[in-house]
Amino acid sequence: MTSISVIGGGRWARTIGAVLCGVSNPFSTVIFHSRHNSKGVAAWIAEKGLEGRLSVTSQWPDLDAAPPSAAIIASGVADHVAAASAVLGAGIPVLVEKPVAITQSAVRHLVELASRNRTWLAASHVFLFARYFDAFVKHIKDMGRLESVTVEWIDGHADIRDDEVKSYDARVTVFDDVLPHIVPLVAQLCDHPLQFLALDAGRGGAEVAIQACAGEPWVSMLMARNGQARRRLIAAKTAAGVCRLDFSQEPGVIVMPDGTRLNGDPQWEAQFKPLGAMLAAFLATVDGAALDERLSAGKALESADFADAARVQYATHQAKWLTENLTTAPEIEQVYALRELGLSREAPHRLGPQEVLTLLEAAAHF
């Protein structure tokens, strides 16, 4: 590999760049392409002392004269399809951060484009590379019939990640943001595809609860932003009792039915952490290995299909909420709901479900 392009300049893009320094060929150059934060990225590179491995430009990669060996797209969701389309059209393998795109049709477009150009489209599924999750799955499989799965995925109001306050894209619903994590994880626990059943939302859309099933097991998911504290919890009710994985802080802790607490990953400090393992798997594919199944774009298609079903019911819920509760709801909820739809407080808010759905799907193109 001669160079790896990282498209994006936010916190997560920079985290990826730093980890790439430890997993890529030392002779490969990692180049950030950031239209809006190139100066900030340059300052960060200097602060970390990584000038020898990382560089930054405000320009798009030159896909004709000096194409990179691979690209990683970690920009805003609205840029994912255009950026991935350009890279795939040049026959360059690409790893796209979640969500790959809003709507299954947009993800399928990229899958087909990769196929036509005989290159790889890899979808980021970083938690599938967590050894503590693998250990949790093994325990569940040893406990007999799976009855239900409960997932809580909550971000605190001011979570600190990589020494920075974690932010989110206000135009992307919490479920579009989180389901690409949850759906592949649940698929590892259950033997059947996930089927959407019902949805409820609160706090202007900052909190969404989804009910689903995967064959016989019932699956409940709670996703939220601006919560009291960061929470990542998966609880599986089995014939032997309830087993929990708490990975609010990594490495995850597995709590057995009898209350015994187990370190989910004793090798956490000795081996690659999940992001490093995922990037190493992608770079192995760039070097000629088969694509790691955990990076399959098919998983992104499944997540997007499930999110599409949720989005239809969510649009109906939000249309009703806007009509009945907007003027009486707490200001923080009003602001959240309107920002998500790209509306000002002066705009008319008597929108029908189809109008809300159109605005939600437009998040992929704003």
Asked, for residue 268, whether it belongs to a domain, the answer is no
Would you say residue 275 has pLDDT above 80?
yes
Q: Is the pLDDT reported for residue 223 higher than 90?
A: yes
Under 8 Å between Cβ of 127 and 187 = no
Model's pTM, two decimal places? 0.94
Segments forming the whole domain that contains residue 18: 3-126+274-296
**Confidence at residue 161, expressed as pLDDT on a 0 to 100 scale:** 56
Say yes or no to pLDDT of 162 above 80: no
The per-residue pLDDT for 50 is 93
**What is the rounded average pLDDT of the residues 10-14?**
95
Look at residue 57 and tell me whether its pLDDT is greater than 90: yes
Q: Is 327 domain-assigned?
A: yes
201 and 281 share a domain? Answer: no
Same-domain check for residues 177 and 236: yes
Q: Are residues 357 and 245 in the same domain?
A: no
Identify whether residues 232 and 340 lie together within a single domain. no
Q: How many CB atoms lie within 10 A of CB 264?
A: 22
Is 282 within the bounds of a domain? yes
Q: Write the pLDDT tens digit of every residue in 88-140.
A: 999 999 999 999 999 999 999 999 999 999 999 999 999 999 999 999 999 99
258 and 144 in a common domain: yes
- Do residues 104 and 155 share a domain? no
pLDDT tens figures, 167-192: 788 999 999 999 999 999 999 999 88
DSSP string, 52-101: TTEEEESSPP-TTTS--SEEEE-S-HHHHHHHHHHHHHTT--EEEPSSS-
Q: Evaluate whether residue 57 is within a structural domain.
A: yes
CA 154 to chain centre: 13
For residue 98, the domain's CATH number is 3.40.50.720
Domain contains 242: yes
Q: Other C-beta atoms within 10 Å of 271: how many?
A: 11
Domain count, the chain: 3
Do 162 and 231 belong to one domain? Answer: yes
Whether 99 is covered by a domain: the verdict is yes
37 and 77 together in one domain: yes
Q: Residues 239, 240, 245, CA angle at the centre, nearest 5°?
A: 105
Instruction: Tell me the CATH number at 216.
Output: 3.30.360.10
Please tell me the distance from the alpha carbon of residue 354 to that of residue 366, in angstroms, as a whole number.
Answer: 18
**Selection from 253, 239, 141 nearest residue 189 by Cα:** 141
Q: What is the arithmetic mean of pLDDT over 19-38?
A: 89
Question: CA distances (Å), 308 to each of 73, 275, 289, 302, 350, in order?
Answer: 22, 27, 33, 10, 23
State whether 287 and 342 are in the same domain: no
At what angle are helices 331-341 and 353-361 packed, to 10 degrees? 70
Are 189 and 118 contacting, i.e. CB atoms less than 8 angstroms apart? Answer: no
Same domain, yes or no: 85 and 98 = yes
Tell whether 45 and 104 lie within a shared domain: yes
Q: Is residue 269 part of a domain?
A: no
Q: What average pLDDT does range 32-38 have in this prediction? A: 95
Regarding whether 288 and 164 lie in a shared domain, the answer is no
Alpha-carbon 11 to chain mean position: 14
Query: In the chain, which ranges are continuous DSSP H helix?
Result: 11-23, 38-48, 77-89, 104-116, 131-141, 174-189, 274-286, 297-324, 331-341, 353-361
Q: Of 25-34, 157-166, 357-366, where does mean pLDDT reach its minimum?
A: 157-166
Mean pLDDT is lowest, of 171-185, 242-256, 264-278, 324-338, for: 324-338
| pLDDT confidence tier of residue 364, bands split at 50, 70 and 90 | low
Q: What is the mean pLDDT of residues 181-206?
A: 95
The answer to the question of residue 247 being in a domain is yes
